[in-house]
Amino acid sequence: MDERTTALVETLLQGIRSGSRAQMARAITLVESTAPRHREAARELLTELATNPNSGVTNPNSGVTNPNSAIRVGISGVPGVGKSTFIEALGSQLTAAGHKVGVLAVDPSSVRTGGSVLGDKTRMSQLSADPNAFIRPSPSAGTLGGVARATTQSMAVLEAAGYDVVLVETVGVGQSEVTVAGMVDTFLFLTLARTGDQLQGIKKGILELADVIAVNKADGDREMEARGAARELAGALRLVRGHGEWAPPVVTCSGLTGTRVDEVWDQVQLHREHLGVEGLARKRAEQQLEFTWALVRDELAQRLRHSKAVRAVQDEVRTAVLAGDLTAPLAADRLLAAYDTE
């Protein structure tokens, strides 16, 4: 690295370890960047954070004996389920209990700017003003590899800064949920009562991913409906989970009023205790291996995109495909052949 990059990494390291929100934001921007010079600096930063971890994650409320292990929770749900409202309620309760909470919201990327669309800070006004919370919307950058790289590395930055709970919010029910579930300790799925058949619109795969399920908006006249929905989902889960596996609890809550949100967190803690120290370590190790391949795929995609040989033929290939003179498989072969010659 050149002197400028070395100085940047050192500044970021000092800022992260001192809990500087501005430097944490700069560091996350760095690890999200796809620019080659930024990726080099990000690798150096993350290597230093991994080899010399901060001892700040020592909260006794973490629920695990490894003091350097933050609690990582993925939160997903159908559109309109109230994820941001729930996260604000949960985050506020956690910070009141002495936790430091980081929230990473995996947003869909703008097709024009590549930036985040949802703007979760505006929807979590109370939590975003909490000095013990840090909210960061992260653009998905249009690729699942981008989600894996940016989000996993952003978690590392937050944990190095002493955040002992990291919540990862996803945009809805889709393939990105599978990616996020593969980088957290517990996957929490939020759903609603007023969706007709409780399994309608919820793929079996999501039920298989979920470690805890919560029926949100269980307040007022909707509470009885929510309880009925919880019973139906609990029955459905018995069909997709094998005997002896962790049985995902189905609970009801209201993010708007904060009712029973603490019970949802209790279930997250119970799942973590079920994993145990060895089980959690094994899960994290397997996630690191999968993340390794995600990084390889992401790096190959970047190299393909920046290849001079590919750029030399891509306009010709594009014209041929649009004209119907070249099929997609043959077009892909031609682009890859150009890359191989470089």
Tens of pLDDT, residue by residue over 154-175, are 999 999 999 999 999 987 656 6
Q: What CA–CA distance (Å, rounded) separates 168 from 255?
A: 16
The tokens of 212 are what? 């805890």
* DSSP state for residue 274 in the 8-state scheme: H
Report pLDDT for 67.
38
pTM for this structure?
0.85
Taking the alpha carbons at both ends of the chain, their separation in whole angstroms is 25
| Radius of gyration for the chain, computed over Cα atoms and rounded to the nearest angstrom | 22
CB 253 within 8 A of CB 212: no
Same CATH fold assignment for domains 1-52 and 54-275: no
Domain 1-52 sits in CATH 1.20.5.170:
yes
Domain boundaries, the chain: 1-52, 54-275, 307-341
pLDDT at 110: 41
Determine the CATH number of domain 54-275.
3.40.50.300
CA–CA dist 175, 166 (Å, integer):
21
pLDDT one-digit tens code per residue, 287-314: 999 988 888 888 898 899 889 999 999 9
Distance CA 59, CA 61 (A): 5
φ, ψ of residue 133 to 5 degrees: the values are -130, 150
Evaluate if residue 151 carries a pLDDT over 90: no
* Sequence-ordered list of residues with C-beta below 8 angstroms from that of 194, at least 6 positions apart, any chain: 222, 225
More confident residue, 308 or 2: 308
8 A C-beta contact, residue 99 and residue 164: yes
> pLDDT tens for residues 97-149?
999 999 998 765 443 444 444 445 556 888 989 999 999 886 555 555 556 77
What's the pLDDT at 138? 67
